[in-house]
Structure 1
């Protein structure tokens, strides 16, 4: 994507399905600078998390929010939920810039969209932040249970990735069992940490890398058997699980992978779509990120319709079947799993009549 391109050009570079609305928000009193991108409301209101991140500049923030919101449209469509795709980014270091006043100002901007966009958590925001946002807008999900929400979505996001990984393992090795498989988890944050728990409980051998030393130490203290590595991407692992920021799969990194399966929680894992072809050329199966990491979306969608926790967890477990079907279709059609997942999502989107 050309970083000097405008909003319209960038949107069309991502997909012929252009963004419906992009809103730039600034509040001088609190220092808030945010962008809210609504990609599609064809299936329902656009839902997507708020990422609070110290972007290098506004151009980088715009690029990220357009990519993430577009991805949310496909994630919701592929997950079978009646939601559209949106995303928001707040520009700044959450450790320095985040205040209740700033979050309140952001919530009031969300309100101006009249329910077309529903926000949730993402990198740099947590349930406590969503509770604050929820005091100023009803268009929020993922709040704490004390505030009437369903709590942090990390556990169910990780559970969805775990089931996706089992489906991928079945496609690669003929069995969904992860026992004695070596899994390299890149990113030991909330979702990565929950995934490590699930993998160890299933008998997998786990190694972890993270740029945050404190996160690594937390994993090490809790699970001494987990190996800490500087990088897991090129390590001798069976499964590479990117669970940090996206874009780690480039043509160069794909060429260095020893894993036979790639399945993780990070959004936008492929730096470019052609990378999936590079993985396929080396016999590496990639489970599309927007299918694998849909557990959190399914949770907050369940929160919106007041579904019981047991029902929501069963919905997340069905990600296994969806991934298995997508991989089967991809192999039968001689296409990548990403293309097969896109086709599944686009069939749902195309089935919605366009308004005149």
Structure 2
């Protein structure tokens, strides 16, 4: 059953590319979510991604206690397509016009394949944009705040597992060294975690050497014994099959859509592995951007909201243990209560 409020599919008049904009909910306030500019086998695959990501954004905002709803924009690039600067600008102008037509129902920020510089281009057409560069009045790159929120979640998980939030000596395995992953790797190194990292791009290996982290092959990373596994790349990592390979006590990372299907959360639970909902762990970046740019909190107030992810995760773990359920179910129930649907 489709539970989205609006789904717009447009062919960009300049770019000729399919633009999908999904507004999942405005029950708590205007929707917000990133622009994903990525390669898909077909535009329908982009639509599927937009539907899943926008519903996850609703849960993310609700769990964080923010007065915003979930949305997402996806531009489906055909495989092998590379955009030169003029073509990229055409795509962004097409997206901006679709967003502007919604007249404030939805605001856009960066996501996979886009950046604050892209938001600046979109901002030339519509005011309903966040994470523009700081010199244009925006909050800029959200990656450091996403990493900080993930660190807060990891403190909560460590305390739940070991009775101590300290990460010193904890075995952490980080999958993905993109913008968020690199920031997080540096934070974990500063906390003296026993860090193992991987990335599908071997050019990331010097970062591991710089940080004194162990580099591991991405092909066998899931079977490495570790305390906490931290997915920080693209989604779909955790499937019914890969679940059997895991040698960890908990999974908490900023990658979106980590579960291949919702049933995987139950499989992890039966194996005694804690999975912290990705929409909670990854919320730091959007919390900072939304509270700073759309809700006009100052930097200290926004940072407090980001670090409050530790409390949110602690509460979810406590609820799950008390009710003998999964953190996934506890997170879903919390979000639904705040949305007024339960």
Q: TM-score, normalised by structure 2?
A: 0.94
2:145 to 149, 156, 160: 156
Q: Are residues 1:182 and 2:167 paired? A: no
SS in 2 for 1:87: strand
Q: Secondary structure at the match of 2:18?
A: strand
Counterpart position of 2:236: 247
SS at match of 2:223: coil
Q: Identify if the C-alpha distance between structure 1 residues 221 and 95 changes in structure 2 by more than 3 Å, giving closer, same or farther.
A: farther
Q: Indicate whether 1:86 and 2:71 are aligned.
A: yes
Match of residue 331, structure 1, among 288, 296, 321: 321
In 2, are the aligned partners of 1:121 and 1:130 still within 8 Å (CA)? yes
Which residue is 1:227 aligned to? 214
Cα RMSD of the aligned pairs, angstroms, is: 1.6
Name stretches of at least 5 consecutive residues in structure 1 with no aligned partner: 1-8, 12-17
How far apart, CA to CA, are the structure 1 residues paired with 2:14 and 2:116? 24
Runs (4+) off by over 3 Å: none
2:40 corresponds to 1:55: yes
**Counterpart in 2 of 1:341?**
331
Aligned CA distance change for structure 1 residues 200 and 35 (closer, same or farther; 3 Å): same
Q: TM-score, normalised by structure 1?
A: 0.91
Provide closer, same or farther for how the CA distance between residues 63 and 259 of structure 1 changes in structure 2, counting only shifts above 3 A: same
Checking the alignment, whether the CA contact within 8 Å between 2:34 and 2:111 is kept in structure 1 is yes
Question: Which residue of 2 is the match for residue 24 of structure 1?
Answer: 9
Number of corresponding residues: 335
User: Would you say the 8 A contact 1:131–1:143 is kept in 2?
Assistant: yes
CA distance in 1, matches of 2:41, 2:162: 42
Question: Equivalents in 1 of 2:232, 2:46: separation in Å?
Answer: 20
- Determine helix, strand or coil for the equivalent of 1:259: coil
**CA offset at residue 212 of structure 1?**
2.1
Residue of structure 2 in register with 1:202 after alignment: 191
State which drifts further: 302-311 or 196-205.
Answer: 302-311
